[in-house]
Amino acid sequence: MQHIIRIITIAICCLCSVFSLAQINPTTNKISVDVSTQPQSTSFNYDSCFAIGKKLGMTQTGLFQVWTSVETSPLTYNFTIFDIANSYYPAQNMAIDLTLAPIATNVLEVPSDLTTTAFSSTVMINRFKRLLDSVKVHIPNVTLSSLVIGSEHDVYLSSNTTKWNEYTIFYNAVSAYAKTIWPGLKIATELTFDGMVNQNSFAQTLNSSSDYIGVSYYPLNANFTVKPISTISIDFATLVGLYPSKPLCFYQYGYPSSTTCNSSDLQQAQFITQTFSTWDFYAGQIKLIDFTWLHDLSPASVSYYSTYYGISDPVFLEYLRTLGLRTWGLTGTDKLALHELQCQAKQRGYNALNMSCTNGINDVKQQTNAFQLYPNPAVNQLVVSFDERDFIEVNIYNSIGIEVYCGKPTNGIKEISIDVSPLSAGLYTVGCFLENGLVHFQKLVISR
């Protein structure tokens, strides 16, 4: 039955997309970036990295802490990071999505005297309440846009009914308490996309008391190679179908660029493009996307995470290493994905960066002299005519970014004829790819 519902949901969304031209906006939809600072030099530090996010249009960002990094030993605390946050972020007029994780992916992160204590125990619950009380004392000036309790813990809980039930009791108790000390606070718990789908019954019960539905999203196959970018549209439809009445927040969101993962810098940038065209359609349901990370990881960081997660698979490590929007080393360099993120945000009013943005799918200021479409509007037949550029592929995307046509022009031929009669009436985007990896887009209307 759930499979049938999913198919119906996707079909309805695709049908409605022909008529919907919604777009995200800075008031109701938030763009964030994990401000990782791997490149370090005297001229490039956290402030410099943070400035990149602010220029992008970021008005809230994440602060992630596992429980044991705060309560470093039983009843012994280190609040340095919160004391810094209390002075830094209010001065930047920046709200915080605070994650406190008693479980981080597959690692239990509770104090050493609680490692065998059930999450449903009053001892465990009361200790976390004490943690919340202490954190609040140290961030009186910080604006919390949300509190996230747990990170990707569906991996640790797996399909263990007892553990899920115990964690749900814990989550309900501590989230209710958090609202008493932070009135009006929005609460979430972050699960992986696969966990939300494959452990749907447990996830639905856990999220019954959530204000936001927290998700980490990396579209990967089981072997850590990337899934097709078109997967985004299907996965967004699935999540909205599962949680139609609560805002979705992607607290982790990324796509590696490594060829080891069957990706590339260009494909990572195209992932950004597809994300925004799909997000536009779900603007009313998806509140936040926090892009992970600003920088690729250093070799030392990759080694650390390999040990932390207990995974040495080289494809997994390359996935982690190349998630960044900038390269690692010295001061780093921008990858294509960062430029595309800046452009997609600019086109929707998030920033006023002085930059050329001619390659985004939703750019209304395309270089129309690169190729011509006629007739436009088209009914049954469309002709794409090229200038002297070396185009190698023509794609047509529907209004939520799904590819509905792909063709390769014959060498030396300056136009291609396409039968568009199978396509529904509506607004489409035609993309023409060049040999050098650049791509130009134009809008196409199909009428009936």
DSSP symbols for 216-243: EE--B-TTSPBPPTTHHHHHHHHHHHH-
Whether 61 and 92 have beta carbons less than 8 Å apart is answered as no
Give the pLDDT of residue 1.
Answer: 36
Could you tell me where in the chain the CATH 3.20.20.80 domains are found? 22-347
Q: Which residue numbers in the chain have pLDDT < 70?
A: 1-22, 358-369, 388-389, 399-401, 412, 435-439
Give the pLDDT of residue 438.
Answer: 60
Domain with residues 371-446, CATH architecture: Sandwich (2.60)
Six token digits for residue 75? 């009843």
Tens of pLDDT, residue by residue over 160-211, are 999 999 999 999 999 999 999 999 999 999 999 999 999 999 999 999 999 9
CA angle 438, 440, 445 (to 5 degrees): 155
Domain 22-347 CATH class label: alpha beta
Give the pLDDT of residue 388.
Answer: 61
Could you tell me where in the chain the CATH 2.60.40.1220 domains are found? 371-446
Q: Which residues of 251-278 are buried (b: 16+ CB within 10 A; e: fewer)?
A: bbbbbbbbebbbbbbbbbbbbbbbbbbb
- What DSSP state is assigned to residue 301? H
Give the pLDDT of residue 12.
Answer: 36
Whether 26 and 348 have beta carbons less than 8 Å apart is answered as yes
- Tell me: cis bond preceding 377? Omega within 30 of 0 counts: yes
Give the pLDDT of residue 397.
Answer: 80
